[in-house]
Amino acid sequence: MEQVKNLDFKLDNGYLIPAVGFGTWQVKDGNEAYQSVLWALEAGYRHIDTAYVYGNEESVGKAIKDSKIDRSKLYITTKLPSDIKTYDGTIKYFKESLNNLGLDYIDLYLIHAPWPWSNVGENCDKGNIEAWKAMIELQKEGLIKTIGVSNFSIANIENIWEATGVKPLVNQIRYFVGNTQPELTKYCQDNGILVEAYSPFATGELLNNSKLAEIAQKYNTTIPKICLRFCLQNNTLPLPKSVHKERIYDNLEFNFVISEEDMSYLNSLDKLASTRPLRY
């Protein structure tokens, strides 16, 4: 069986994206972010996910540089702050991210959310269209390979798609066993939009779940690996995060297949973790 770290998804524009990404949300700037990303790259991750608001782009960029891995072998994602909803603001913050990371281009650039995190649910349809138009131009200039969104609903996606004729090719959403946002996920997958699964462990809440423990025991593996394999077999791209070397390595080793029967069971589970506000 092919190792997970060698698997890719093919996006609608033909680009390949490594099927597992290394997340850096809540990873502190400085040595923690630098060392975590360096370990991830040493372990075999080639897809690194960060964001302007994480405040760690410089450390992520330094680790990328110091890894000495050919840039063409890497897939780097960052995100436009959720409160930036203007054309000029999008250009400005993108160039800051590019400079922070020390790169010549970004593989995937996402609108971090359809509304500011300070006012979740606010209607920003016009602002999202402006931001999207700027990202389309940056892509035309070759500064971005692929553009997408995060935390977008169906209506949010259709708003920018209908206004510009350009659909996002990725939607990064909260996705884990017991919370798979089935309607949104189906819409994205039916329309050639890759779903990326952030918080695949429900921010740690699934790690002691008895139902998942039974499944993990059946496959002689761990709950985190069941969570990651579940995402992958549902054709979503998991973004595990850790700052511990052993876990970083371990989270890239889930080279087994969950049976159809057990996938059906896992897909039937609901609300295994507490309902928290959306997080970025």
Quick one: fold of 7-268? TIM Barrel (3.20.20)
Q: For residue 171, give the nearest of 162, 163, 28, 190 by alpha carbon.
A: 190
For the whole model, what pTM was predicted? 0.96
Per-residue confidence (pLDDT) for residue 280, from 0 to 100: 43
Spatial CA neighbour of 17 closest among 163, 153, 160, 195: 195
Quote the pLDDT of residue 275. 59
Could you give phi then psi for residue 248, rounded to 5 degrees? Answer: -60, -45
Sequential pLDDT tens for the chain (280 residues): 789 999 999 999 999 999 999 999 999 999 999 999 999 999 999 999 999 999 999 999 999 999 999 999 999 999 999 999 999 999 999 999 999 999 999 999 999 999 999 999 999 999 999 999 999 999 999 999 999 999 999 999 999 999 999 999 999 999 999 999 999 999 999 999 999 999 999 999 999 999 999 999 999 999 999 999 999 999 999 999 999 999 999 999 999 999 999 999 999 999 888 655 554 4
Which residue among 45, 54, 109, 175 is the active-site one? 54
Tokens 């052993």, located at residue: 246
Question: Do 23 and 49 meet the contact criterion of CB atoms below 8 Å apart?
Answer: yes
CB 78 within 8 A of CB 56: no
For the chain, the helix, strand and coil percentages under 3-state DSSP, each to the nearest 5: 45, 15, 40
Cα–Cα dist 21/50, whole Å: 10
The Cα 179–Cα 235 span in angstroms is 15
The whole-angstrom separation of Cα 61 and Cα 73 is 15
Give me the half-sphere count of Cα atoms (radius 13 Å) on the Cβ side of residue 157: 25
pLDDT, residue 271, reads 86
> Is 219 a residue of the active site?
no
Separation CA 108–CA 76 (nearest Å) = 6
